[in-house]
Amino acid sequence: MERRTFNKRACTGILKTDFHDHFLYRVKLDELNKLATNAGYEVVEEVIQVKKPTSNLLFGAGKVQEIRELMESQEIDNFIVYNRLSSIQFLNLSRRLEVNVMDRYDLTLEIFEANASDSLSLLQIRLARMSKEAPLRKVIVSKRYKEEHASLMGSGEYAMHSTLKSFTKREASIKKEIDRMLREKKVQVTKRKDEGAKIVTIGGYYNSGKTTLFNRLTGADKPVSGKPFTTLSAKYKKWLENEKVLFVDTIGFVIDLDPRLLTAFEINLIDFQYADLLVFLLPANEPPDIVVLKLSEGLKVLETIPVQKQKTTVLLNKIDEADRENLDQILDMTRTIFNSGNENRIIPISAKTGENIEKLSKHISESLL
Ligand SMILES: Nc1nc2c(ncn2[C@@H]2O[C@H](COP(=O)(O)OP(=O)(O)OP(=O)(O)O)[C@@H](O)[C@H]2O)c(=O)[nH]1
Ligand SMILES: [Mg+2]
């Protein structure tokens, strides 16, 4: 395949499969646009199609032709798709559009890569990329390569297969290294717990204020920003009020979290699995519909990890910026969805101004000590 350099202009797209969806798809596409912008793309167009997905292109063939013309006329080099693309869909879209094609998972990994500073995060991202490319490589070997390189078959195929083999080998060695770190981390956490430490894991949506809260409770000075996925890894740090309690900050959730991300960041899941208490943050300064969506989806993800519901406390953060009426509505809906039977397990706070942090501290002490 010839290489060319791509500009940063992007068209985003979503295939809407639910004909009655008049709200959710917009939230999702806005989210995608925000991520793309943060990754350095300039989103200049967006396309929405309502249809059942097609197995070879995701979108309909006519729509893809339309997208091609739109992108050509606007000189857009990047097509960013909300939906998850199969290897075949990715290859076919790339060939039809002749631009850089990616889905939300690729975009997320790109942001992770730009933010990662520690070797473990980088290894996990590399493995995630490799696992994603593996089926793609197989498709190339089996189909396109055979079609387009018929004359070269034989030696060419041999070369391709040997590349594939060394790729698989490298993937296995990274996996082995990560597994080693995984075991090491489990030993460390178990040791601390055996020594009487209690672990409070700070989870929740990206940008919800997890690190701000972590800094406030531990006296740390970790970077905080309005950009997505500022935090990729974190160390345990003692609570200022009681050194038996350790806090740990985590990678942010997104709406429609791709399960591959959870698998790829397996080590980070330990922080959830070993938590004595999980505080789950939601940004209460957003529209109630969105907050509630984030809560219900977040709880579903926690179940898959799994985290026990009785260990979870929901923190509605950023109340300093929340509209009073909205906050009441969010509180009501949160009580309905997160019916924990314990009123203390839903706490509105402001990690920034410190409002209700005392109430949270009391709750942490009562739950753990
Ligand atoms: N108004 C207001 N802003 C807050 C509050 N807590 C955090 N923020 C702001 O929200 C943004 C995100 O804060 P972070 O603490 O980095 O959020 P995070 O959840 O750690 O984000 P990721 O690491 O990207 O997942 C920053 O601009 C913070 O200053 C709060 O209680 N009120
Ligand atoms: Mg953070």
- pLDDT tens series, the chain, 369 aa: 555 789 999 999 999 999 999 999 999 999 999 999 999 999 999 999 999 999 999 999 999 999 999 999 999 999 999 999 999 999 999 999 999 999 999 999 999 999 998 889 999 999 999 988 888 887 777 765 566 655 544 555 667 777 778 888 999 999 999 999 999 999 999 999 999 999 999 999 999 999 999 999 999 999 999 999 999 988 899 999 999 999 999 999 999 998 888 888 988 899 999 999 999 999 999 999 999 999 999 999 999 999 999 999 999 999 999 999 999 999 999 999 998 777 889 999 999 999 999 999 999 999 998
Q: Would you state the pLDDT for residue 148? A: 61
**Residue whose CA is closest, atom 32 of ligand 1?**
318
> What does each C-alpha distance from 130 to 60, 80, 85, 99, 168 come to in angstroms?
29, 20, 16, 21, 9
| Spatial contact of 313 and 279, defined as CB atoms under 8 Å apart | yes
Helix (H) or strand (E) holding 160: helix 155-194
**What per-residue confidence (pLDDT) applies to 145?**
57
Give every strand in the sheet of 42-50, ordered side by side: 42-50, 9-16, 78-81, 100-103
CA gap 60, 63 in Å, rounded: 5
- pLDDT recorded at residue 147: 66
Atom of ligand 1 nearest to the CA of 223: 16
Q: Roughly what angle, to the nearest 10 degrees, separates helices 61-73 and 87-97?
A: 50
Of the ligands numbered here, which is closest to the C-alpha atom of 318? Answer: 1
Name the residue among 332, 269, 345 with its Cα closest to residue 302: 269
> 237-238 and 245-249 as β-strands: parallel, antiparallel, unpaired?
antiparallel
Phi/psi-derived region of residue 98, left when phi > 0, alpha when psi is between -120 and 50, beta in every other case: left
Confidence at residue 141, expressed as pLDDT on a 0 to 100 scale = 73
Question: Can you give the pLDDT at residue 270?
Answer: 94
Residue 294's pLDDT is 96
Ligand 1, residues 271, 352, 356: which to mutate, most atoms within 8 A of Cβ?
Answer: 352
Look at ligand 1, atom 13, and give the residue with the nearest C-alpha.
Answer: 209
Q: What is the pLDDT of residue 263?
A: 87
Binding pocket residue ranges, ligand 1, CB within 6 Å: 206-212, 224-226, 228-231, 252, 317-318, 320-321, 350-352
| Ligand 1 midpoint to CA 304 (Å) | 26
CA nearest 25: which of 33, 34, 36, 16?
A: 16
Q: What sections of 13-118 are H helices per DSSP?
A: 24-38, 61-73, 87-97, 104-115
Write out the H or E segment, with its range, that includes residue 187.
helix 155-194
Please enumerate in sequence order all residues whose Cβ is within 8 A of that of 114, keeping only pairs 6 or more positions apart, or say none. Answer: 39
In this prediction, residue 3 carries a pLDDT of: 59
- Atom 10, ligand 1: residue with shortest CA distance: 209
Query: Which residues partner with 248 through β-bridges?
Result: 201
Question: How far apart are the CA of 230 and the centre of ligand 1, in A?
Answer: 10
Q: Are 318 and 285 in contact (CB under 8 A)?
A: yes
Query: Residue 333: its pLDDT value, please?
Result: 95
CA of 231 to the centre of ligand 2 (A): 4
Q: 227: CA distance to ligand 1 center in Å?
A: 9
Whether the full predicted model's pTM is greater than 0.85, yes or no, is: yes
Measured by CA distance, the residue closest to atom 11 of ligand 1 is: 226
Distance 56 CA to ligand 1 centre (A): 40
In one letter, which amino acid is 47?
V
Q: What's the 220 CA to ligand 1 centre distance in angstroms?
A: 15
**Going by CA atoms, what residue is nearest to atom 27 of ligand 1?**
226
Q: CA end-to-end span of the chain, whole Å?
A: 61
Pocket test for ligand 1, best of 34, 224, 230, 248 (most atoms within 8 A of CB): 224
pLDDT of residue 242: 97
- Residues in contact with 223: Cβ distance below 8 Å, sequence separation at least 6, in sequence order: 211, 230, 231
Instruction: Tell me which residue of 213, 215, 294, 205 sits closest to 252, measured CA to CA.
Output: 205
What separation in angstroms does the CA of 39 have from each of 23, 107, 264? 25, 7, 20
CB count in 10 Å sphere of residue 368 = 16
